[in-house]
Structure 1
Amino acid sequence: MPREYDKLVRDGIPEIIRESDEEPVTHTVEGEAYRDRLREKLDEEVAEYHDGEDPEELADVLEVLAALAGTHGLTESELEAMREAKADDRGRFEDGVVLEAVRE
């Protein structure tokens, strides 16, 4: 009985499946459907990190972010530059600051 997935996978996964003497059933998506699948994949990878806190899952998150950036016409280096500019302007997340409230 076939295993059903209906999820975006890395480009090399179909070949890896073939090497295991199984036959993948695939299709490709583009445009907004591709962006939707990437957003779903981002949620999946973040959830996997939450579940096990495996640092390798962070690499998967970065891979999905790079693909999402590409759908916006950004290269990884442009995205990194945006990240750095925002960090320079607003800071990073290194000090563990938690905003509790803003009083008037």
Structure 2
Amino acid sequence: MEAVLPEKLVRDKIPAIVDFSDGSCDFRRAEPSEMMTLLRAKLLEEVDEFLESQDVAELADIIEVVFALVDRLGCSRESFEEMRVQKARSRGVFDQGFVLLREG
């Protein structure tokens, strides 16, 4: 009996890579209306993979999913980077390791 895998988003070149190597997988193109749901699920998948492995390559996958979400939300990557830089300037980054002990 063949295992049924949940549908999941894969990188754009994966169908060609798999078809070239052995052709044992089936793919479909996602509908535009389902892309946000698929991307959100992919983000959780990639974060889980990073948390389990601590592999820096998984962070690259997370960033790629974040960029796809940014694009889908109608924000340019340049604007997104400006937001990141502005937050870093106004609120700081995470270099010093401050931990909130209580909110007041």
Q: TM-score, normalised by structure 2?
A: 0.89
Q: Which runs of 5+ in 1 are unaligned?
A: none
- Could you give the per-residue CA deviations for residues 29-83 of structure 1, whole angstroms, max 9, x where no partner exists? 2444100100000000010000010000000000000000001111222111111
Q: In the alignment, is residue 25 of structure 1 matched against residue 26 of structure 2?
A: yes
Measure the CA separation in 2 of the matches of 1:42 and 1:77: 21
Q: Which amino acid aligns with 1:86?
A: K
Q: Which runs of 5+ in 2 are unaligned?
A: none
Map 1:17-96 → 2, pairs under 5 A:
17-96=18-97
Q: Which amino acid aligns with 2:62?
A: V
Please say if residues 7 and 37 of structure 1, whose CA atoms lie closer than 8 Å, have aligned partners that are also in contact.
yes
The DSSP-based 3-state class of the residue aligned with 1:89 is helix
- Could you give the per-residue CA deviations for residues 73-98 of structure 1, whole angstroms, max 9, x where no partner exists? 11222111111111111111111111
Q: Which amino acid aligns with 1:48?
A: E
Q: Which amino acid aligns with 2:82?
A: A
The DSSP-based 3-state class of the residue aligned with 2:52 is helix
Q: Which amino acid aligns with 1:41?
A: K
Q: RMSD of aligned C-alpha atoms?
A: 1.6
How many residue pairs match? The answer is: 103
Q: TM-score, normalised by structure 1?
A: 0.89
